[in-house]
Chain A
Amino acid sequence: MKDIHIKFRIGKSIFFQAFAILLSVSCVIPLVAILLYILDAGFKTIRTNGFQFLTNLPKPVGEAGGGIANALLGSIIIITVASVVAIPFGILCGIYLSENRKSRWAYWSRLCVDILQGVPSIVIGIVAYFWLVKPFGGFSAFSGSMALAIMMLPIVIRSTEETLKLLPDSLREAAYALGMPFHRVILKVIVPCGISGILSGVMLSVARIAGETAPLLFTAFGNPYVSMRLDKPMQSMPLLIFNYATSPYNDWHDLAWGASLVLLVWVLLLNILTKIIARRWKVQF
């Protein structure tokens, strides 16, 4: 009787474990399926068009040898400008929040950052449209960058804050006891010790905005030519994918898949880089 009881329990345990494994494996399926599909479609594009599609400009429908150079360059410019604006702001704000955990102002700004993180990207796009596009009388890459910068901010701020919060207080005390002024404690001790976490947050935020489409729809707008001017419309990868994938032409569908692959590899590389940085520059206590 007792034996049967125990066997029943063991059976139940095995069943439960199998169920857990099954479900966790099935979680991987969507990601793997998407990856495989994009890899397959993307490589088909590369086979038919060659790697030149990275450096060629889009061609009219029907003409062979179109490319995504304008979108690639556009994305790089837009994201760089967004990073230049958002990263210093974000890191400084994160430092403030972690150094002043209990002040009233920190409480409110932390709350605002949390809410900002939840604001839908399309809403940020509309706001950028009304604040930057309309007053200046036209779509511009700069307004797109600003919209993306706003999206980056909460990620950078929170990751900086969380990283620095984990540093022990004894580290700050050691620095203060040597007579270091606040700015040196921050720049020479706190930030170097938390650099791996801060950089991870920065990388992840760049990866996050690389694929954002909604805020760019009515800010950077898109451009069929190569443009380097921040005050004019500029093409970007997600916009190109959106425009080409919704078009009725097969060539353009192919280019959209190629661009998707490029975007995917980009995000993947950033994620791997983040992991490497986090491990390499991690400070041991």
Chain B
Amino acid sequence: MESAILRSVNYNAYFGDNHVCKDVNISIPKNEVVAVMGPSGCGKTTFLRGINRMHELIPNATAKGQIFLNDEDVMEMHPIFVRLKIGMVFQRPNPFPNLSIYDNVIAGYKLNGIKLPKAERDRIVEHSLTRVALWKEVKDSLNKKGSFLSGGQQQRLCIARAVAMEPEVLLFDEPTSALDPISTSTVEELFHELKKNYTLIIVTHNMQQAARVSDRTAFFYMGELVEFDDTKQMFTNPRDVRTQNYITGRFS
């Protein structure tokens, strides 16, 4: 693909002797929403966590292969630089409970010891919170602790925290599975907004969600990348029989 921002070449991931990602080759174009779906235990979350080198934080976890971010191999880079360029949002909202809403948004700078002038900080906080459609709701309570927000608001706060670092790619690990339907739709609307500036990779259990929000979909099965195609194409006319079986609900 001509404008691939992220490209993996023969990526393999292991937990001890357990081979969870098998020779994954994928090219993800810039400014698109890519959904990664597949049954439980198919390696999709492991692949996602491999992209920003979070995988190796787990004891016994190892990885082989290459992942290129703009032609730079993230496996060769220091994980800290990788994670500054590739943001991540988790399954459960995890704002820092000891920090205020304001400090949570700016956490990537504040906790990394990056000093910014007050005006710049204010601008980043307002900008990031506006991006995730949270500014209006919290602008009068920026000094309250982030953990007082509702689940959906907390998740948007976590997205704002990732967005504040101006990464190139944003990874979402089942970002709505702990949220109620209304919060889920708010977050899904955000994806359309965010893809103007970032490339989004979203792991999801929910096929409808994949169909709703993504431009392209990747289907993982038993650690393999079975199919990666245009979302419409994939849901209407899958090439692989395993994809077809999964989409039609023969197994899950």
A and B found bound together? yes
The chain A residues found within 8 Å of chain B, CB to CB, are 102, 168, 170-181, 184, 188-189, 192-193, 283-285
B16 within 8 A of A: no
Residue B158 at the A interface, CB < 8 A?
yes
- Whether a CB of chain A sits under 8 angstroms from the CB of B1 is no
B97 touches A178 (CB 8 A): no
Assembly CA distance A284 to B148 (angstroms):
9
B249 at the interface (CB under 8 A from A): no
Task: A69 to B81: give the CA distance in the assembly, Å.
Answer: 58
- Asked if B161 lies at the interface with its beta carbon under 8 angstroms from chain A, I say yes
Are A174 and B54 interface neighbours, CB within 8 A?
no
Kindly state the separation between the CA atoms of A193 and B80 in the bound complex, as whole angstroms: 22
Say which residue of A170, A176, A193 sits within 8 Å of B98 (CB atoms).
Answer: A193
CB of B94 within 8 A of CB of A179, answer: no
Extra contacts besides A171-B97, A177-B88, A178-B112 (7): CB < 8 Å: A171-B96, A173-B90, A177-B87, A177-B90, A179-B81, A283-B97, A283-B98
Which residues of chain B are within 8 angstroms of A168 by Cβ–Cβ distance?
94
Chain B contacts of A172 at CB under 8 A?
Answer: 57
The minimal Cβ–Cβ distance linking B107 to chain A, given in whole angstroms, is 6
Tell whether B111 is near chain A: CB-to-CB under 8 Å.
Answer: yes
Q: Does B100 contact A (CB under 8 A)?
A: no
* A–B pairs, 26, beta carbons within 8 Å: A170-B94, A171-B94, A171-B96, A173-B57, A174-B94, A174-B95, A175-B96, A176-B54, A177-B54, A178-B84, A178-B107, A178-B108, A178-B111, A178-B161, A178-B162, A179-B82, A179-B84, A180-B80, A189-B96, A189-B98, A189-B111, A193-B96, A193-B97, A283-B97, A284-B97, A284-B145
Query: Chain A interface secondary structure, helix, strand, loop or mixed?
Result: helix
CB nearest to B148 among chain A residues: A284
Q: Residue B83 at the A interface, CB < 8 A?
A: yes
Q: Which of B51-105 contact A (CB under 8 A)?
A: 52, 54, 57, 59, 79-84, 87-88, 90, 92, 94-98
Contacts of A176 in B (CB 8 A): 54, 57, 83
Residues of A within 8 A of B81 (CB): 179
Closest 4 CB pairs of A and B: A179-B83, A179-B84, A170-B94, A177-B88
Instruction: Name the residue of chain B whose CB is nearest to the CB of A174.
Output: B94
- B70 → chain A closest CB, angstroms: 17
Docked CA distance A224–B95 (Å): 57
| Residue B147 CB within 8 A of the other chain | yes
> B148 contacts which chain A residues (CB < 8 A)?
284
Q: Which residues of A lie under 8 Å from residue B54 when comparing CB positions? A: 173, 176-177
B63 CB to closest chain A CB (Å) equals: 16
Cβ of B6 under 8 Å from chain A? no
User: Smallest CB–CB gap between B16 and chain A, Å?
Assistant: 12
A284 touches B96 (CB 8 A): no
List chain B residues, Cβ under 8 A from A189: 96, 98, 111
B28 sits at the interface (CB 8 A)? no
Answer yes or no: B165 CB below 8 A from chain A CBs: yes
* Cβ B111 vs Cβ A184 within 8 A: yes
- Contact (Cβ within 8 A) B94 A173: yes
Interface residues of B in 180-219 (CB under 8 A from A): none
Residue of A nearest to B93 (CB): A170
- Per a CB cutoff under 8 Å, which of B80, B83, B90, B145 touches A170? B90
> In this assembly, does B113 line the interface, its C-beta being within 8 Å of a C-beta of chain A?
yes
Q: Report the nearest B residue to A172, measured CB to CB.
A: B57
B83-A177 in contact (CB<8A): yes
Q: Are A179 and B98 in contact (CB under 8 A)?
A: no
Shortest distance between the CB of B181 and any CB in chain A (Å): 23
CA distance A184 to B107 in the complex (A): 12
Task: Please give the distance in Å from A225's CB to the nearest CB on chain B.
Answer: 48
Please, how many angstroms separate the alpha-carbon atoms of A242 and B80 in the complex? Answer: 58
Query: How far is it, in angstroms, between the C-alpha of A188 and the C-alpha of B96 when the chains are bound?
Result: 10
- Cα–Cα, bound, A102→B162 (Å): 31
Residues on A with C-beta less than 8 A from B82 are 179
Given A173-B54, A284-B145, A285-B147: A178 and B90 interface contact (C-beta under 8 Å): no
B147 touches A174 (CB 8 A): no
Is the CB–CB distance between B97 and A179 below 8 Å? Answer: no
- Give A174 to B96 CA distance when docked, in angstroms: 8
